[in-house]
Structures are given as structure tokens and as C-alpha cells.
Structure 1
Amino acid sequence: MADGARMGAKSKRILVTGGSGLVGRAIEQVVKEGAGQAEEEWIFLSSKDADLTDAAETKAVFDRYQPTHVIHLAAMVGGLFRNMKYNLDFWRKNVHINDNVLHSAHEHGVTKVISCLSTCIFPDKTTYPVDETMIHNGPPHSSNFGYSYAKRMIDIQNRAYSEQHGRMFTAVIPTNVFGMHDNFNIEDGHVLPGLIHKTYLAQRNGTSLAVWGSGNPRRQFIFSLDLARLFIWVLREYKEIEPIILSVGEEDEVSIKEAAESIVAAMGFKGELVFDTSKSDGQYKKTASNSKLRKYLPDFKFTPFSQAVKETCDWFVANSDQARK
């Protein structure tokens, strides 16, 4: 995608790392649909453009594009079971990526960097809802401690770059993101895209639909296009170094069972729904407060969950041959 970038003389050149992933593709779509501004040039990088775990390759891509702003999405990511198996890999790769991107941004005088964190960085033992002040109050859940600590370190680096060099490096913390262009792999992907793929296969094969775990854990899901619009707002308007949670409200939290039932309804699945309680549930809940976001954007309208699920399911069915799975 980066090859198509125009190297014009626009006042803002925005480099998006991880631009071919779920959130990057959503930002690209929202920009193309009219959210972009005349003075902005958007460059969407994919892993084919540079290995961001390599400092020299990261520097080279910054040398090439000379961005004024960076939205940093690139990461090694995966679902619960992949995290449990490869905590060291998640730690090392993400620490390298994050340090290389932030250091290159600093050396190239980038005006603003927005990195993407995750609600799994919050302490496992905590009170709910969690908010932006609670990130470092205790260890994260043991299932994904490698990824969680690597992401937490971005907050530390942002603070240090601000204090030592006056940099405007900040971060957002989305809740569970889903939408078109997700990773629909059943073994390695996140819960919602994995369930969409499983429902598609169960419907095609005339079998029951097995949901891993009890279905009781609760999550706040945010549609990727909503998150993209909020990312663009953060890019242009948010002035704090401290992170901001980007999420639907606490009242919009749903159980995995309710999420599975929404997918079943969206895809018209008529078979049996079975919960495999031999599989781990992971963290029961990680309810996040969006009160800070609401102070800034009291009137922001989120896409209703059932509508967003339907749009995602329809996209997957139409693109099942090309979708990541």
C-alpha cells in the first residue's frame, strides 16, 4: 500500500504502521470516504514495506517517507491460546517494534505519535470499571503477560519522551475491536472473528457450533470503523500524553454467549449452539470506563453492536476466499 503514497508538499504526512491490518484498513476506508483533510497525506505501511523489529529497516522507512505524524498500529497480536503459548515472543517482538518506531519518530522530529494499546494491559486484580489512571496498578492477567507488559511500556516511553525531549507521543486503549479485514483464524484470532468463521463453517457443513469456554465472560466490543473515526479525532484534537480509552459504554458490554447469538442471528445459522467448557475462559471481564472520552465527545454515536456484527458477517461471507483465516 505504501508504494502508492504521493510524496507531495502537504503540511501533514501521516504514516500508519500496521496499515494493512484490521484498524489500519478501517482508517483507510474512513479517510477515503471523506474524513481526510486537504492538507493531509496518508501513507499506509504493511509488513511487506519494512520489518519494524529491525532498527535499520524502521529508520529507512522513516527516511523514505519523512512523516510529520504517526499512527502506530503494528504489533504481533493473537488470541488467548496463542498468547498463552508464546508469551516470550509477544514480549520481544512488540518491545522491538515499539522502541524502533518511537525512536525513529523522535529522531525524525515527528510532531505527534499515537500508539495503540489494549485493555489487556490493565491489572488482573482490580476494581471495575478500569480507567486510564490504573494501568500500572498491578500485574496483568497471566495468560498474556508478555504482550501486556510490552504494550504497557509504550506508556512509559511516551512519558519519558515527553519529559526528556518534549515529544507529543500518546496512546489510545481500545476495547475489543472487530470488523472487516480482521484475522478470522479460529486458532489464533480473537473471539468475535473466530466465532464468525466457525459459524460460517458450521452452517456450510451442517454441524453444531462449538463456542470455546462457558460463554459467560463479558467484553466491550468496538466496531473498527467507529474506532477509525476516533483515531482521526485523537490525531487532530487530543493533546494529552496520558492515554485515552476508546470504547463503547459499560452498559454496552455483552457476554461471549450474547455475541455468539448475535453472529448466529446475523448469519441465519439454524444449528445447535454448544459451549465447550473444557476450554479456558481467559479473563472473566475487563470492563473499561469511557468517561474520559465522553468528556471530550459527549455526542459520538457508536454503531449498534448487532448492526456492526451483521456488516462484519456479510463482509466475511462475501470475501471468505480472500479473508485472513
Structure 2
Amino acid sequence: MTLTDDFRQAVLDGLGQSRKAIPCRFLYDETGSGYFDDITRLDEYYPTRTERSILKTALPDMAVRIGPGASVLELGSGTSEKTGALLAALEDPRCYVPLDIDEATLEDAAGRLRQAFPHLPVVPLHADFNDVWTLPPQCLPPVLCFFPGSTIGNFDKPEAETFLRHIRSNLGPNARLLIGVDLVKDTHILEAAYDDAKGVTAAFNLNLLVRINRELCGDFKPEAFRHRAVYNEDRACIEMYLVSQTNQTVRIGGTLIQFAAGEMVHTEDSHKYTPEGFATLAGRAGWRRTGMWMDDGKLFSVQLFEAE
């Protein structure tokens, strides 16, 4: 199945449900990745700058705990903006493997890292980290999996446990996991982070409809939908939706999809954790926490685990 076929199948299946949904991985085409890069620079969006601040302060300690000679695999590497500082802090890293679904962004980031670290093998891996993937032969143990940005929050709790177990089984002996984990906090802070005043997150979400039009012969009118982000306290989760503004019919190829006014299409979740809650979940997946670093406001955490 090609990526386009996968996209078409996921969209048609998701929009055929009684509660419409499209998997969040399809938000990140080249345009979507650019929008997300813009989001990370917004005043309201605390995760990126907070995580960057934690890394700047704590990387020397992290590097000591990780140890020398690690191969570094980054899942969902995107622009790899945080990776240079990590590679510079580590002692004798063996190679760097950025893994991302967007090939253009992946190759651009790999090129920049090769220039910055000319003696370090940089081996990009074009894949969806949700699918089956195989480490390149250059990525020898011990492997450090770097998973920043709180992307783990896109999985619900059972999915997150399964995903962490999958990583554990793929990395070989003496594996490490350095992961960004967003923390439970005030609802207003959370909702502002996912519905900014400039409307960048709204554009990011609505770009999914533009992508469907371009790649799947759709006729969505993006202006007929609006972005909505709400924090569900029971789930400790930000839920992101596209909301139909009117009763309307949309064509995707030869398929007609009906939308009622106010009907929502779920596009992304972002689960939040307490430090204890995430350590317990990771422990069930075969990981033991060996370090945790937080900002002074306890908005965000970077946590280090080793395989048990």
C-alpha cells in the first residue's frame, strides 16, 4: 500500500464512523510540519521552549547518565532542532538516525546535521514511527531513543504503553529512552497552547482539509470548518477537532460524506501526565526511570529510562 492509499483509506474509514476522526499523523505533511514549526515559537505554546530550557540546563547530567558510544535514534525528528545540542553533549556518539514521515523535512534536517557533525554518520529513515520499522545497520547498541516534544501524548494510555513496549523490543541491549512528557496543569494554560490568538494552530488543523483536497481529489471548503481545542479533565487530555459550520456534503474522489452543522471531526489528542503516572506506565512497558528533569513551574518534564 502506498502512502497515498494509506491516507485515502484512513480518511474514508475515519469519516465513515458515527464519530468522525482522522489520525493525527496526517497533519504533518510538508505544509503542516511548517505550521507546527511556527506553533513551537508562539508565546502560548510552552512545551518547546520549556523543553529546550530543560535540555540546555540538564544535558551534561543526561549525557553522563546515558554514557559513551550511543547510537541516537530520534522518532518523529522533524527539523531536528533540539538534536544538535544533544549530540554535542554526548560522549562519542556512534551515529544519528532521524526517523520521520515527511521526507522533505527529513532530508533537509539530515543535511544540516551532517554539516554540523561532519564525522558523525547521519542515516535518515523515512518511515512512520507508528508502523513497523527496522534500524539501519549503522545503528548499533547501545541505542538511545530520543523522543522529545511530548509526542507520546498523542497516544491514549493503552496505546502509549504498547508503543513504549514496541520501542523497547526494537532497540536491543542496554537501550535508553530520553523522552519529553507534558505534565498536568491549569486548564487555561493548556487550552491556550492549542488554540493560540494568532490562529496558527487553527491553520495547522485546517491544513488537513487542504491536503485531502490536493492529494485525494476532495472538495472541502476549509472556511466551512473551524478549529476547536478543549481540555478533557477526566482523560487529562487536550482534544482537537475540526467543526463543521453548516450542514454540508463533501466529495472525496467518488465518495460523498455528509456533515451536520456542529459535527466534529477528531484530529488529535495530547495526553498529559503526572510524573508518577508516566513512570508507572513506562514501567509496565519494560522501562525503568533513571532520571527526570523539570522546569521551575513544573509545566514539562524530560525523563530518562533504561530498558529492564
Query: Shorter chain as normaliser: what TM range?
Result: 0.3 to 0.5
Judging by fraction of residues, say which structure has more strand: 2
User: Could you state the TM-score of these two structures normalised by the residue count of structure 2?
Assistant: 0.33
Judging by fraction of residues, say which structure has more helix: 1
